[in-house]
Structure 1
Amino acid sequence: MVKIGYRTIKTAVGTPLAIWIAELLQLENSVSAGILTILCTQVTRKKSFLAAWHRVAACLLAIVLSFLIFETIGFHPISIGILLLVFIPITVMLRVSPGIVSSAVIILHLYNSHHITLDLIINEIILITVGIGVALIVNLYMPSLDATIRRKQIILERNFTKILEEVALYLREGDQSWSGEEITQTEKVLKEANQLVGRDVENHVLRSEHPYYDYFEMRTKQFAILKRILPLISRLPETSYSQCEQLAHFFSGLADSVHPGNTAVLFLEELESLRQSFDEDPLPKTREEFETRAHLLQLLYEMENYLELKQSFKESDVQHRNRQRKPQ
């Protein structure tokens, strides 16, 4: 079953509405109002406002250049070519090139008139106003993405828990039956979540911050660390049983504490205790023991970074909440 999106619905509502308004105003080429509405209906409010600005600026420029070139050179096909040679580079220079297509509609209206009058220019300006105005109005409604983003957060935390549990199981029992599907799924969820947050930011034009932006940024960096530690753990020999058991206990506790709250301080303290414990072990005597010690130290370093990311996130989150509560 094909799913109809909100943008499709808004386009289907806005286009006939713009044409109907243009017909009520008895505007010539009233259908063009619907074309402008289609072009300006975007997936976010910010993109819609930006599209409106591009088209308004480009259309007004098109009217001025059309008057100068058509009334000077004449209403000939060659005049359109000359106009476009001038018009397109200027729109690119002014960074309003997305408005070229809609402006072409206005240019052809003026060309087809064979004589540009003040009434015709006013007609085109009202057409632009109606078409773009309706698009902006229908685009004021944007469905909330909070519930969808929250679901992504829940899936992500569940996957993090599973990954950490599997690490603990491997360290404790050497179990290698894990398929690793959570790794692939987490990459997909992080990508989708960041896209959703980006869309939600653009739907709130006056808001530059988003409560979930830093969270998913933190989880993205933590996930990169988790992917780096997996090869390190697989290189630990079975002979280092006591060290693996200590690490397994650490990862089990970490798996039980994957949530938005702040428990990083406690695990950083536990990590420091592990480091001190490993430092007290006898110095390595063989190459294998030396490599094992190196892998352990690298693993502790990576997990320290993992936890510091969470700690920094919670500290910045607290500061952000305090700023919001501060009376203005």
Structure 2
Amino acid sequence: MKIGFRVIKTAIGTGLAIAVASWIGLKFYSSAGVLTILCLKETRKRSIESAIEKMISCIIGGLFAAVSFKLFGFTPWTITLILLMVIPVLVALKAKDSVATSSVVILHLYMLHKVDGMTLLNELGIIVVGITFALMMNIIMPSAEKQLKAYQEQVEAYFKKIFMEFVIYLRQGESDWDGKEILEVHKVLQEAKDLALKDIENNLRYNDNHYFHYFEMREKQFEIIQRIMPLVSSLDETYEQNYMIADFLENLAHAIHPGNTVSIYLDELQKMRQKFKTSPLPQDRKEFEVRAALFHFVNEMQRYLLIKKALFDQHTKRKKNQWSLFIKKEKTSNEGS
């Protein structure tokens, strides 16, 4: 049995919410703990969104209940009427997940058989205490940097392995590789992107994350790798061009890292393409088909490299925009002073 950090925060936050609500003297104080549990989500952003949603739904439920109980009395049929009005409103506001929370407020008022300022203030107190402790618990968030870095290294190791298997096949015309890395890298990329997205939602001051963009880039490159696999497997005979591409892939495999060395390999691809054009014509149909497949392979590898180049171009552009914004703010500040 494993107890995660979120479980610990939920348990502590719930206990504190109930204790504070009881100490203040609120009726139904245990409901503050329930609200803490419901509002404490995986990320800060989701917790804030949930807190706002539940606050609004509780207020709406309380207002509808107050008016309805005053007009029609404290009967089960009045609760039916209230829910018939409240639920469609919450669904329209895209807060259907908070129907149960709103119902708690309605049932509190029904059980007290009283609607006045103090009763409504009691319900507001429960809401505020429960939500406050949920948000307080989510101030503490473990850093995902170490795990994201581990995912990054894992993806790069898989890419290197795949390329080296391509190299073996291009040079020897056969391989006993089972291709398990293809399945593994797909799984790791999905997990890494999910974690990177959570990391973005935990950092409310900005919505950018270089790891998320990095794994998106690797995902697009992986699509190209999947496309060229059948192409490589069809090359069952070796020619001079096979060795040229194999040498290129071997160098590229050893250079798989987060840094920007794309221009070097784009230049190598261009030189290789020129060599292909100046090579003697194919001697037979089989050689023609293989060389055509190799030329297509080179084009796909160019797309592979351009995907990473686009990532660095966007990163450079964002940095320039941030710097320009900083300079503009400094200039405005100096002019004002």
Distance 1:124 1:176 in 2: 70
Which deviates more from structure 2 when the two are superposed, residues 291-300 or residues 104-113?
A: 291-300
> Where does 1:54-65 land on structure 2 (aligned, <5 Å)?
54-65=53-64
* Equivalent in the alignment of 1:210: 209
Matched, 1:229 2:225: no
Offset, 1:198: 0.6
Deviation for aligned residue 1:325: 5.4
Alignment match, 2:334? none
Deviation for aligned residue 1:236: 1.8
Distance in 2 between residues matched to 1:4 and 1:323, nearest whole Å: 43
Structure-1-length-normalised TM-score: 0.95
* Structure 2 portions without partners, runs of 5+: 328-337
Give runs of aligned pairs for residues 245-264 of structure 1, distance below 5 A: 245-264=243-262
Find the counterpart in structure 1 of residue 74 from structure 2: 75
One-letter amino acid matched to 1:292? V
- CA displacement at 1:319 relative to structure 2: 3.3
Q: Give, in whole Å, the separation in 1 of the partners of 2:67 and 2:294.
A: 76
* TM-score, normalization by structure 2: 0.93
Structure 2 partner of 1:15 = 14
Q: Structure 1 CA distance, aligned partners of 2:213 and 2:147?
A: 17
CA distance in 1, matches of 2:31, 2:107: 11
Distance 1:235 1:141 in 2: 53
| Letter in structure 1 aligned against 2:48 | F
User: Is 1:243 the counterpart of 2:241 in the alignment?
Assistant: yes
After superposition, give the CA deviation of every residue in 1:78-107 in whole Å (9 maximum; x if it has no partner).
Answer: 111111111000011122222211111111
Q: 2:279 aligns with which of 278, 281, 298?
A: 281
Tell me, in whole angstroms, the C-alpha distance in 2 between the residues paired with 1:219 and 1:269: 21
CA distance in 1, matches of 2:93, 2:323: 41
Shift of 1:173: 1.6
Cα contact 1:261–1:314 (8 A) shared by 2: no
SS at 1:212 equivalent: helix
Determine if contact 2:160/2:254 at 8 Å carries over to the other structure.
yes
Identity of aligned residues (%): 41
Q: Please provide the CA RMSD for this pair.
A: 1.5
2:190 maps to 191
Q: Which residue of 2 aligns with 1:201?
A: 200
Give the match's secondary structure for 2:210.
Answer: coil
Q: Which residue in the other structure is 1:295 paired with?
A: 293
Report the Cα distance in structure 1 between the residues aligned to 2:261 and 2:31, rounded to whole angstroms.
Answer: 59
Moved more, 165-174 or 276-285: 276-285
What amino acid does structure 1 have at the position aligned with 2:246?
Answer: A
CA distance in structure 1 between the partners assigned to 2:323 and 2:215 by the alignment: 23
Checking the alignment, whether the CA contact within 8 Å between 1:18 and 1:34 is kept in structure 2 is yes
Alignment deviations for residues 283-322 of structure 1 (CA, whole Å, 9 cap, x no partner): 4464433422331221111000001111222222233344
1:1-43, CA deviations, whole angstroms, 9 ceiling, x for partnerless residues? x221121111100111011111111111111111111111111
Show the 5 A alignment for 1:1-328: 2-238=1-237, 240-284=238-282, 286-324=284-322, 327-328=326-327
**Unaligned 5+ runs, structure 1:** none
Cα distance between partner residues in 2 of 1:29 and 1:237: 75
Would the aligned equivalents of 2:148 and 2:195 in 1 still touch at CA under 8 Å? yes
Q: Is the 8 A contact 1:41 1:135 kept in 2?
A: yes
**1:218 & 1:8 partners in 2: Cα distance?**
33
